[in-house]
Structure 1
């Protein structure tokens, strides 16, 4: 059976880490493309030289030429300017709009049937950009958001309770920013609601830490932003699509039709739980929310809307 082909745009920390994770799992052959061709080729070669030790047969190829990425089954856009201390994800809006626009034009030209996962910040606005510039059906374009935010929430819960991360299923919806909505009611420990393990005050403290978890890492690193957990989150999404696992993962997706009306966010890309399978976004899951959660959700949607309205699309 011919191996799938994944292109990662941007050979920075997220791109290179993801290339290694994908290769180790033998999910696909990976094409790592960067404006600095030497970095892409150097990191790809370094990963391949680890293959005899780690025991994988997937190929990782570095390139600066989009022709090499032709007919990719999946393209991940990590390219863009990273956050620096004191910057919000939104501060990157116009700089990264130009990057995502030009990248998406190349993807459309060389891989017109592909799926796109957007990672570049501000995530929801950049996902919207990729969708509009590509003209792809909405089920093929999504942003990596809730997968990462939920993983962070789950880790913080595990750290606080002392219970294995494997038992914790966390849920986060809304924008991938400071207005995200971690859902305590839908977060469980071995199927048991998390409220049986922690007080309201303890939970609220972890909710707030989750909202600002990206910034916490930025301030510690001082030069750049998180990359191990984001790369792992993309891996989870990629595997669910290419191996047709049909996992429910919270992603930034274009809300339209029945789901758009239900969530009151028609025409925007915002994080909601979806079923990810061989057709990409196969179903949007409609969650029942409390009045408080709906209020938080609407605030989150408004923050995305404010950004999207600034885009020159």
Structure 2
């Protein structure tokens, strides 16, 4: 059953392609747009033709190759997957932020001019910051969503099932897990929540020992980097499927996980001891959209440690807002390539990274962290970040 009239997708990389495939069953019409590298760049048209061949008789979705942002007018939702993913195992979300910030800002500005009331889903990392950029571009907070918790929770569930399977010697279906969530960040500071999680009516903490549970958390947080290291590129299938689940759940009034803006009252529903903030916080939360189109935060049982971790992340909202504004000044406008390179090197130095030119190699650079042996530096293509 089609649940939306029009879904628009920006970007035909791996995430964009799989998002289109998974979302084709949800919409009457799907519009796909990709930046043209030249006048004869027809990659988007090629993808649309390929998708029509694959899906037209399965989903009946009318898939269209957009020639400009004007084709997004009237979209129920616009999904942004454009941007550069992680290319190195050592690559941090701070590095992604620098190279994707100005691109997302210009993209959000263009969408807002055409369709200011549409809902936005951003899959471009780091999503902890990208939703803030959408707000700066003018989108109302209630229409901004970012991919994060739905994907991370799927990863957490899988690792829990693997651990339960190893203990019981049988396959464990993730659909039988209860009260499993990942909240807060979509990054190293994410908060896997399963202190009250259950499997077949039993608390998971009573089935798995403490060391196993710690390993589950560690693996969940590291999964993105693990995938990048093993396949040479960041994940694409999981994100595409997670975006489709977000749309389906949201439209049907079911609870989903995504980055959204929340206020103090929303946070109190989670039992957090928070009185007020100068501005609303943007983080991964479980919620649903009611029949009145109102967002309702899902009550979640949290341990004291989970509450403390979530409050710590929320307390960093002001710093994240300031960092977004700072990065945009360093990447937008008429800056030269040399200025952008110097800005990137200075920015990463604040994060503890040392980037130096490789002697004897024209245009080559290497990176290592403070405290590491410079002999273990890794070469990098710094031009990808400007």
Query: Does the CA-based 8 Å contact 2:31-2:65 persist in structure 1?
Result: yes
Gaps of 5+ in 1: none
Out of 66, 69, 87, the position equivalent to 2:91 is 87
SS where residue 44 of structure 2 aligns? helix
| 1:92-107 matches, cutoff 5 A | 92-107=96-111
Q: How far is the alpha carbon of 1:302 from its aligned partner?
A: 4.8
| Contact kept in structure 2, 1:145 and 1:251, CA below 8 Å | yes
Greater CA radius of gyration, 1 or 2?
A: 2
After superposition, the Cα gap between the structure-2 partners of 1:168 and 1:288, relative to the gap in structure 1 and judged at 3 Å, is closer
Report 1:212-227 matches (<5 A): 212-222=222-232, 224-227=233-236
1:287 to 292, 300, 325: 300
Deviation of 1:216 after TM superposition, in Å, equals: 0.7
CA contact (8 A) 1:184 1:203 kept: no
Q: Sort the Cα spacing of 1:191 and 1:9 in 2 relative to 1 into closer, same or farther, 3 A.
A: farther
TM norm structure 2: 0.73
1:16 paired residue number? 17
Consecutive unaligned residues in structure 2, runs of 5 or more: 166-171, 329-386
The two structures have a TM-score, normalised by structure 1, of: 0.89
Q: Distance in 2 between matches of 1:282 and 1:269?
A: 14
Q: CA deviation at 1:7?
A: 0.7
Q: 2:362 corresponds to which residue?
A: none
Q: CA–CA distance in 2 between the matches of 1:153 and 1:38?
A: 39
- 1:166 and 1:294, CA in 2 relative to 1: closer, same or farther beyond 3 A? closer
**Separation in 2, partners of 1:140, 1:271:** 14
User: Aligned partners of 1:309 and 1:199: how far apart in 2?
Assistant: 41
The answer as to whether partners of 1:179 and 1:299 remain within 8 angstroms in 2 is no
1:62 alignment partner in structure 2 = 65
Q: Distance in 2 between matches of 1:2 and 1:196?
A: 40
CA RMSD of aligned residues (A): 2.3
Compute the displacement of 1:185 (Å): 1.8
**Whole-angstrom CA distance in 2 between matches of 1:274 and 1:115:** 16
Between the aligned partners of 1:206 and 1:259, the Cα distance in structure 2 is 28
* Alpha carbons 2:3, 2:26 under 8 Å: kept: no
Change (3 A) 1:184 1:307: same
Q: Which has the higher contact order (CA 8 A, sep 6+)?
A: 1
- Tell me: CA distance 1:35–1:277, structure 2 relative to 1, closer, same or farther (3 Å): farther
Partner of 1:209: 219
Aligned residues: 307
- Cα distance in 2 between the residues matched to 1:277 and 1:232: 23
